Amino acid sequence: MKDNKRRFALATAILCAALATGAGAQAQDKKASTVSKQDVQAKFDYCQTCHGISGQGFRGAFPIPRLAGQQPEYIENQLKAFIEHRRINPVMFNVAHVLSPGMLEALTTKFKELDPKPLGGAPRNIVPDGKMIYEKGLGPDVPACASCHGATAKGDGQFPRLAGQLNDYVIKKLTNWDTERGQDKANVDTSIIMQPIAHNLTAAQITAVAAYLSSLE
């Protein structure tokens, strides 16, 4: 338990440092080049081929996440993680590394403004269990999800929106956290804050939380 507390404290310190130093750098980086509405729409349409109509997510051979309503800062951070190989995905690397600052700002703003209905599909009978974990946590090793992601799971800044996310996508990410995030051990990022929490959730608890989140609008 003490080790978990130390990891959580370290993760929180890293996140605070990132928030403090990131603001100035992002303000400088966002001297955005002008992009046309036509170019933005074309790129957005391209994103929809995988992430679904209006960014609502898509279920195919594997779940592709909902981006609608997502925090722009979170999307930017994850695209940077793909570029730096802290998240490994050849498709997303190819998408991310060619985006200009202006296009990135336009796309993240557009996704933030979208609010389609969630795709749903999760078992309804376990939603109350997931709601309890999300709002109250499970003790010191699993704090309330709401403490970072907000009471309505809409996220804030670097903390992502989880409301309406595909339940199977949430399950996949939490179950495989160590192989999905923080892949560059020499360049530790804010994903470390979730590592001990993901480890301390059982498969049943992950499924319940995912079902609850997928039910939120």
pLDDT at 176: 94
Structural domain that includes position 172: 2-215
CB distance 206 to 174 below 8 Å: yes
Q: What is the CATH number of the domain that holds 153?
A: 1.10.760.10
pLDDT at 11: 52
pLDDT at 187: 86
Q: What is the pLDDT of residues 78-124, one digit of tens each?
A: 999 999 999 999 999 999 999 999 999 999 999 999 999 999 999 99
Tens-level pLDDT at each residue, the chain (217 residues): 545 455 455 455 445 544 444 544 444 444 445 899 999 999 999 999 999 999 999 998 999 999 999 999 999 999 999 999 999 999 999 999 999 999 999 999 999 999 999 999 999 999 999 999 999 999 999 999 999 999 999 999 999 999 999 999 999 999 999 998 888 888 888 888 999 999 999 999 999 999 999 999 9
- Which of helix, strand or coil describes residue 26? helix
Cα 155 from Cα 145, distance rounded (Å): 10
Cα 210 from Cα 4, distance rounded (Å): 23
The model scores a pTM over 0.75: yes
How far does Cα 64 stand from its chain's mean position? 12
pLDDT at 28: 45
Residue 198: count other Cβ atoms within 10 Å of its Cβ.
18
Cα 84 from Cα 87, distance rounded (Å): 8
In sequence order, what DSSP letters do the residues of 35-86 get, joined into one string?
--HHHHHHHHHHHHHHH-GGG--EESSSEE---TT--HHHHHHHHHHHHTTS
How many structural domains are present in the chain? 1
